[in-house]
Amino acid sequence: MSGEVLVTGAGGFIGGHVVRRLVESGQPVIAVDVKPLDSWWQRSAARNVVADLREPTTCARLTRNVRTVYHFAADMGGIAYISENDWRCAATAAITVNMLRACIDDGVGTLLYASSACVYPTSLQGADPVPLSESLVYPEAPEGGYGSEKLFSERLCGYAAASSGLQVRIARLFNVYGPLGSWCDGREKAPAAICRKVAEVALGKSEDVLVWGDGAQLRSFLYIDDCVTGLIALAQAGATGPVNLASDQLVNIGELVEMVSEVAGVKVKARYEEAGPTGVRARIPDIGRARQELGWYPSVPLSEGIRVTYRWIYGQMGHLDAVTCGHH
């Protein structure tokens, strides 16, 4: 099928990596983000466009002659950001409405929507957690405005597909990490934040590492390269329901601090602050559907992904005084 590929949120972490992979495979890509070009985390040899997708006419202009849309544009961040910005995160649904309408009107073939594990009920992620298979979203209890928006937008995608020829694919992403993303601007997630804090110890800027919670919060972390492979496979597959993309390697936050410390070659003292934002107690993914329907399975061990991520963040700190960052 002829036509270009449109990636929204292309100046962000996951969107930027997807654009690069698509460009490297020889596909014509339109990359769009609301941020100025010099604020994009990375730029590839795509048609890079600065535009606000909250404007319906902008979406309609960008989807002409497009065959596939990867939709990542969202106001989001780590647990600190999403717990303090329910309205800003929830309002992202307006962008998805605009994109779906434009895709239907312009005859786009496929839209892949980047959803989140935050759609799952918090009751399933407590002291007695269960593996989160894709059907376990009811009774609804998503995580804050961010999770609510993701679940609502999944439904929007379903309604759009049912009323048109648009094919939708929904990826539920679990804790994606890696280089070329937020690490000190207040939107960073746990792996980047911990890498930065350990690097501050290594550079003599700090004596300990502040960790929110008691360190026992259980998570899985998916390396960006594995995530991109899964997203592209999903966009090209026939799967019509949501698909979890996650690592099945579980680790608690205290163990993650130890892992980063080993990579950095420094001994660190963790200072736990249980009053800080911690998210759910334990998030365990079920990736059986991704294995079965996509033939996809993550291949990068956490230790290797953390090594690459830490080295990138450490290098960034050589160019920027971390004390001036907007991190918490």
Q: Name the percent of the chain lying above pLDDT 70.
A: 96
CA angle 142, 144, 145 (to 5 degrees): 105
Q: What does 204-215 look like in DSSP terms, one character per residue?
A: TS-SSEEEES-S
Q: Which of 70, 81, 113, 146 is catalytic?
A: 146
- Encode pLDDT of 159-187 as tens digits: 999 999 999 999 999 999 999 999 988 89
Instruction: Please state, as a whole number, how many other Cβ atoms lie within 10 Å of the Cβ of residue 186.
Output: 16
Torsion, CA 55, CA 59, CA 62, CA 67, rounded to 10: 170
| Mean pLDDT of the 232-253 span | 95
> H or E stretch including 305?
helix 302-317
Same fold, 4-176+222-245 and 178-220+249-283+301-322: no
CATH entry 3.90.25.10 includes domain 178-220+249-283+301-322: yes
When the pLDDT of each residue in the chain is averaged and rounded to a whole number, the result is 93
Instruction: Please confirm, yes or no, whether 146 is among the known catalytic residues.
Output: yes
Radius of gyration in angstroms for the set of CA atoms belonging to the chain, rounded to a whole number? 19
Please tell me the distance from the alpha carbon of residue 297 to that of residue 289, in angstroms, as a whole number.
10
| Mean pLDDT of the 278-304 span | 95
Phi, psi (deg, nearest 5) at residue 292: -75, -45
- Sorted by where each begins, the domain ranges of the chain are 4-176+222-245, 178-220+249-283+301-322
pTM over 0.85: yes
CATH entry 3.40.50.620 includes domain 4-176+222-245: no
